[in-house]
Amino acid sequence: MRMNSVIVDASHVTRSFTMPAGTVTAVRDVSLQIQSGEYVAVRGPSGCGKSTLLHMLGAVDTPSSGTLMFDGRDIAALSDRDRSLLRLRQIGFVFQRFFLLPMLTAAENVELPLSEAGVGKRDRLERTKELLDYVGLAARADHRPSQLSGGEMQRVAIARSLANRPRLLLADEPTGELDEATGAQISALLDRVNADGTALVIVTHDSTLAARARRVLMMRDGRVESEHQQ
């Protein structure tokens, strides 16, 4: 693993949306770098552009202006297929609403990105087991999401996001749907993921979770208003 190397380099990134009522700028002239192994929290009021920034960092959206380089590659210049491959192999996503597929078991949900990446069945099964062990759900491998609690579902989602050993894990309000105690368990799990070398960018309203990050960005009106190290 390349430590202290830049994974994401955003330079004067702006993202605007054309709406019927006019153009809305969600992210304005943001420049930042994400280093390998870093733990960054993005905070700010609703609608300040946190999630939009996260989506651009995760290559699911592209800037309207400015440049965003992922591992030295300009995301806007990549084809849709190449961006998909980049997300599949280098980036993990954890969502507020988990987005586990209800017709699949926990193990099958974790296995999905591996399957899409073309990993052989034997390796898939081995990696799935390893990941479920990692998040403490080996015993629930054959359970469907409807048979899991919110915290368990989020743990499966984290295991799924780590399937292809991403360099960067992005989490959008990962504790937003959970109670305080369960949120604390997820926070601890994310700490562990970061400690194991995966760079982490978390968008959160949860001050307890944000307090675990080593660097906190405060956003307002689409801009990074302040940034501090912890």
Please give the residue ranges that form the binding site for another protein (CB under 8 A): 51-52, 55-56, 58, 60-61, 80-81, 84-89, 91-93, 95-97, 99, 101-104, 108, 111-113, 115-117, 160-161, 164, 172-173
Q: Provide, rounded to whole angstroms, the least separation between the CB of residue 56 and another protein.
A: 8
Q: Provide, rounded to whole angstroms, the least separation between the CB of residue 139 and another protein.
A: 22
Supply 99's token pair: 């987005």
Q: Provide, rounded to whole angstroms, the least separation between the CB of residue 228 and another protein.
A: 27
The rounded distance, in Å, linking the Cα atoms of 75 and 83 is: 7
170/218 with CB nearer another protein: 170
CB atoms inside a 10 Å sphere around CB 109: 24
4/113 with CB nearer another protein: 113
45/188 with CB nearer another protein: 45
* 135 contacts: CB under 8 Å, gap ≥ 6: 155, 156, 158, 159, 189
Residues in the chain: 230
Q: Provide, rounded to whole angstroms, the least separation between the CB of residue 229 and another protein.
A: 28
* 117 contacts: CB under 8 Å, gap ≥ 6: 88, 89, 163, 164
CB atoms inside a 10 Å sphere around CB 101: 13
Q: Provide, rounded to whole angstroms, the least separation between the CB of residue 111 and another protein.
A: 7
86/210 with CB nearer another protein: 86
Supply 48's token pair: 């300040």
205/229 with CB nearer another protein: 205
